[in-house]
Amino acid sequence: MEMFSGLDWDDGNRTKCQKHGVSIEEIEQLFRTAPFVGRDETHSELEDRFIAVGRTGAGRSLLVIYTLRSRDGVELVRPVSARYMHRKEVQWYEEEAAKDHN
C-alpha cells in the first residue's frame, strides 16, 4: 500500500461510509493495520479507486473502497464506501492471508 498521511473526511463520504453500519473508527483502524489492497477496476473510470480488506480490532472483516487525494502536498486516503464482507469474501480473505503467512 502506498504511503499516506491521513484520511480525508467530509459530510458526504462520512455519511456514505456509515450507511452499512461501519463506524469511522473501524475504517481508520483498518488503514492503521496492513490491509490487502487492490485496484477497483470496475469503478476506476473517472479516478483510480482501490479496495482495502482486513479485520477490525473486534475481528470483523471489513471492505473499504477508497481513492487517493493530494492536498497541500500531502497524500490522503479518501474512503468512498465501506461495508462488512460477505461470507465468501471472508473465505477468500482468510485464504489469501494464510498464503502470506506461509
pLDDT tens, position by position, 14-60: 999 999 999 999 999 999 888 889 888 887 778 899 999 998 888 89
Whether residue 8 contacts residue 78, with contact meaning beta carbons closer than 8 Å, is answered with: yes
What confidence tier does 3 reach under pLDDT thresholds 50, 70, 90?
Answer: low
Q: Give the bridge partners for 84, in sequence order.
A: 62
